[in-house]
A and B are shown apart, each in its own frame.
Chain A
Amino acid sequence: MNVMATSNEEKTPKRKRSRKSTFPTFYLSLLTILTYVPIAVVVVYSFNESKISSVWDGFSLRWYKELFQDPAMFRALFISILLGVSSCLIAAVIATLAAIGFPKAKLPGSKLIEYLSSAPIIIPEIVLGMVFLVYFSLLKLPFGMTTLIIAHTSFCIPYIYMEVKARLIGLDESYYEAARDLGASSIRAFFDITLPLIMPAVISGMFLSFAMSFDDVIISVFVTGVNTDTLPIKVYTQLKTSTTPKINALCTLMLTVTVFCYVMSYVFSRIGKRNIKTQKEREHEEAIRKA
């Protein structure tokens, strides 16, 4: 490698890329597009007139109409929504109280319980499903809505807990103190100040857990009862047998709901972030001021 060659090489990465920039761009685009292909396929074919997925017969809303006329689908939708809402509400209460209480109550084993409560999202889903199945049998619980709600709540809790905890950590405790100072009892200060300020995090977590619950199939399959099919279970059973584009329509609708929930979750996690300064930021500002 002689010196001449080196001096001819472009020095900055930007210019170096202009010669080969086509490959990275091509590669990134290709893979990104490929990620969307399966989803696009499902969505597009939900509008396909023909019953056979590979034959395009023209645009049609036929399958959506069929979907809306199917009582079994509505029942499944109802169950999914009821399940999702119940689980994320119960989880929200438990998780929010816990996030507030843990730092204050110096109980033994709180770290352990904290860890264990997030186990449901770390354990592989089949194991969790299996574990719930045998355990609920042992307890002789009725398989159906009850068991579904318990199981779903267990994995909703960690999501909400983590969000609320993070929000609480960044929350300046001076706000609460100022309220107490001005005459509010601890309960009043909590409801007037703390709760409104962490509410966006609670809501964000709830949207996230609803999406998780709405989408869940493996655990639901294990703990559901005879007549309680959630939407994903319906999709799953259909996939293994025969499929009509009606399933495409269902999938399209489902994914609209979940994407909506994720977007809302993100939106809410951003609300009020400007009010919450972390200790680091405050110290940083202090340092600048003193300098």
Chain B
Amino acid sequence: MTNEALKLKKKSSRKRRENKRRATSALLVLPIYLFTIAFVVGPLIYMIILSFMTRAEVWGVERIFTLDNYKNIFSEVYFGTFKQSLKLAFISTLAVIVLGYPYGYYMARTSPSWQRRLMSMQMIPFWVNSLIRLYGWIIIFRANGLLDKLLMAIGLTKEPLKLLYTYPTVVVGMVYVLLPFMIYSVYGSAEKLDWSLVEASRDLGASPVKAFITVTFPLTLPGLLTGIVLTFIPSMGLFFIADILGGNKVVLVGNLIQEQLMKVHNWPFAAALSVVLMILTSVLIYIYRRVARVEKLMGDGANENKDKDKEKEMGRGV
């Protein structure tokens, strides 16, 4: 065989081997491709399509294109639900900031071994099913529950406070579930803080308060912002806290979706609500990504893997 022909034969057999390798690897990813397309992409696309369809008279769905579902969302009644959800998310986030920021900050100031202990101690309750944790709050808050017993025993109140099924109780429940996100974010930022900067400012004559405002706070701001976004995202979806602790008094988007789906059987509308909720969530996630990028620029890239691990664990604890 001539040199040229030999070269070509080599090239083609090499190509064949490469293609064979590619094909085997393709086989490996086939299951996930199939599964994701069938059971993730498919449902999502269907949901979007569904949101444009009309609800049939008795049961089911009619394939009539309509924008009514979306229009209805912006109507008084339903839009109010969105506003409620946002209001609750906002209040919860505020409470979480007030409670969580100091925790994260103080935690970063303890010794490294305590930091690890506190981190684990915060993680463990997080692992426990949120239903169970909420049940605990029910026991505490219900009429003649633990809290009542305690207050009456001290003598602060004479009658049982009807705390369960009220708005503040729902907020407590939300804060309780969302707090770890804020603590983790603030701690992450505060831990990377260079304390010598604070010392320097104190050295230059700043009071503790001033040092905090001018040095500590701005440098932990990325952590705070991350925490805010991380708190907001799940809070939009936590309808069952309102469900359990708030009874029927507090209606959030999630409750609405559930109701529309299960009771009213207006699937297209439920779909539309879900789409809007998802869009909101996506926007928040996008903001989070931007904030996180800023924080990485300011912080230490070596902690990235640690962050990802924790992020993952926290991702579905709610």
Contacts and interface: CB of A to CB of B under 8 A. Distances in A.
In-complex A–B contact (CB below 8 Å): yes
Interface string A120-138: 1111111100111111001
Contacts of B199: 11-13
B77 interface: no
A126 B237 contact: yes
Contacts of B134: 38, 239
B47 interface: yes
Interface string B32-59: 1101110111111011001000000000
B304 to A, nearest CB: 11
A97 interface: yes
Nearest to A98: B32
A11 B203 contact: yes
A135 B124 contact: no
A53 B146 CA distance: 9
Interface residues of B, number: 89
Contacts of A178: none
Contact-residue bracket for chain A: 35 or more
Interface string B132-148: 11111111101011101
Given A127-B257, A134-B46, A258 B110 contact: no
Contacts of A243: 135, 138
Interface stretch (A58-66, A152-160, A191-199): A152-160
Contact of A35 (B125, B140, B261): B125
Contacts of B46: 131, 134-135, 138
Contacts, number: 241
A124 B40 contact: no
Contacts of A105: 22, 25-26, 28-29
A52 to B, nearest CB: 8
A31 interface: yes
A222 B270 CA distance: 13
A153 B202 contact: no
A101 interface: yes
A129 to B, nearest CB: 8
B128 A39 contact: yes
A259 B121 CA distance: 12
A282 to B, nearest CB: 15
Nearest to A265: B313
Contact of A121 (B29, B243, B315): B315
Interface of B: 21-22, 25-29, 31-33, 35-37, 39-44, 46-47, 50, 99, 102-103, 106-107, 109-110, 118, 121-122, 124-125, 127-129, 131-140, 142, 144-146, 148-149, 176, 179, 195, 198-199, 202-203, 205-208, 234, 236-237, 239-240, 243-244, 254, 257-258, 261, 267, 270-271, 274, 277-278, 281, 285, 305, 308, 312-313, 315-316
10 contacts: A24-B102, A38-B133, A54-B139, A100-B28, A104-B28, A116-B40, A131-B274, A235-B135, A236-B131, A239-B134
